[in-house]
Amino acid sequence: MRIKKSLMDSSGKNKRISVVGAGAWGTAFSIYLARKGFNVLLWVYEKELCKVLEGYRENRYYLPGFILPREINWTDALEEVVIFSDDIVIATPSFALRETVKPVSDKFKDKRILILTKGIEIETLKFMSDVVYELSGKDTDIAVLSGPSFAREVAQGEFTSVVVASLKKELSLYFQNLIHGDDFRVYTTDDVIGVELGGAMKNVMAIGAGIIEGLSLGTNAKSAFITRALAEIRRLGKALGARDSTFMGLSGMGDLILTSYGALSRNRAFGIELARGRNPMEIISTQKAVVEGYFAIKAVYTLSRNMEVDMPITEELFRIVYEKKNIFDSIKDIKARGLKEEDE
């Protein structure tokens, strides 16, 4: 653990924020908060990474090229982040969120929680906020943040817009005022389901966009794909009770475009590698950073089947990634689908 003693006093002079998860996004968000003048305690899972940070003040595992500002300190003791601040940001991979926060979740009831993690738990089909609610209780103050926000661009200080969603209006306004900045514009909404679904689904669809890119299928195909991908997201969103307008916003269309066609997208890169004939597990095993879409495909496919929502793109991506279906057979089956009205 590395915490400056001066930051641990109770004077309240300097605002303190805890960040759980030192991946690319958690690190970049910490850098942004530090530039705003906050004192940040970053929880790191890997003890080796703690040593790297101690030696270089640079996250050489997940976000190389950025020296951490002096306002950022780090620890591998999860209990310390709960003590450090009443504002806790969660930025773990989706598959690790439950087991990561479970040991300290009983202390979340007196905290304000902001979840950056985008995904759906495979075993329970719960969104990330639902997992935290389950662990800490329904009275916990929880908000989620989503939107088109590549970690590296946020760390560089490039302009970014996101949305914070909470069932409690005062909480979303609190986080909006807390983290909004000239180069980091924050909007609010109460459509938590829509925001979380958009954040999870864009990772799935970005894999499909990567396949199209890898196969050089053309700009027409890219445009058709992104349009029909959005239609699937909206269809599932309607079944779940989300507002349709949410999917036309930052956490829907905005994040979908970024992740599907942005060069920094890991999910898009995963799709490109699939198009080149590589085995999905081989790709995953060689990636240090998490490809969230790989996990989200299975969860979304299962959810859509359970709810009897027609999602042909998601289904074919599931067949390709988890059942080793030939990509060209999947494309052929998509093309052979029956004629429909556009809004179906």
CA distance 21 to 118: 13
**How many structural domains does the chain have?**
2
Claim to verify: residue 181 and residue 203 sit in the same structural domain: no
Q: Are residues 62 and 140 in the same domain?
A: yes
User: Which of 190, 212, 238 is the last residue before a domain boundary?
Assistant: 190
pLDDT confidence of residue 10: 32
Q: Which of 135, 162, 190 is the last residue of a domain?
A: 190
Do 205 and 318 contact (CB within 8 A), yes or no? no
Whether 32 and 170 share a structural domain: yes
pLDDT the model gives residue 330: 97
Within a domain: 340 = no
* Residue 324 domain-assigned (yes or no): yes
| Whether residue 255 is found in the same domain as residue 157 | no
Polymer length in residues for the chain? 344
Q: What is the C-alpha to C-alpha distance for residues 212 and 205, in angstroms, rounded to an integer?
A: 11
- Name 341's bridge partners: none
Question: Does any domain span residue 341?
Answer: no
User: Is residue 84 one of the residues assigned to a domain?
Assistant: yes
- Give me 81's structure tokens: 């982040």
CA distances from 36 to 72, 172, 219, 284 (A): 12, 19, 40, 35
pLDDT at residue 120 in the model:
98
* pLDDT for res 342: 85
What's the domain range around 228? 194-335
pLDDT in tens, 219-264: 999 999 999 999 999 999 999 999 999 999 999 999 999 999 999 9
Strand-pair partners of 181: 184
Give the number of other CB atoms < 10 A from CB of residue 260.
25
Q: What is the pTM of this model?
A: 0.94
The CA distance from 117 to 10, in Å, is 30
Which of 111, 118, 126, 202 does the annotation list as catalytic?
A: 202
Asked if residue 18 belongs to a domain, the reply is yes
Do 15 and 88 fall into the same domain?
yes
Q: Which residues of the chain have pLDDT under 70?
A: 1-14, 344
Return d(Cα 169, Cα 190) in angstroms, integer: 7
Residue type, 305: R
- Whether 342 is in a domain gets the answer no
Q: Are residues 77 and 166 in the same domain?
A: yes
Q: What is the CATH number of the domain that holds 239?
A: 1.10.1040.10
Token duo for residue 216: 């050089």
Q: Cα–Cα distance between 5 and 27 in angstroms, integer?
A: 22
Domain match, 305 and 173 both? no
Cβ atoms < 10 Å from Cβ of 133: 19
CATH number of the CATH domain containing 20: 3.40.50.720
Q: Give the SS3 label for residue 165.
A: strand
Q: Is residue 10 domain-shared with residue 146, that is, in the same domain?
A: yes
Q: Among 190, 222, 252, which residue terminates a domain?
A: 190
The residues pairing with 195 across neighbouring beta strands, listed in sequence order, are none
pLDDT of residue 287: 83
Domain for residue 343, yes or no?
Answer: no
Let me know whether 148 and 198 are in one domain. Answer: no
282 is written with which tokens? 């081989």
Q: Is the same domain home to 218 and 159? A: no
**Are 205 and 130 members of one domain?**
no
Is residue 114 within 8 Å of residue 164, measured between CB atoms?
A: yes
157, 38: one domain: yes
Assigned domain for 24 exists: yes
Strand order, beta sheet including 112-115: 72-75, 39-43, 16-20, 87-90, 112-115, 141-146, 160-165, 184-189
Is position 202 annotated as part of the catalytic site?
A: yes
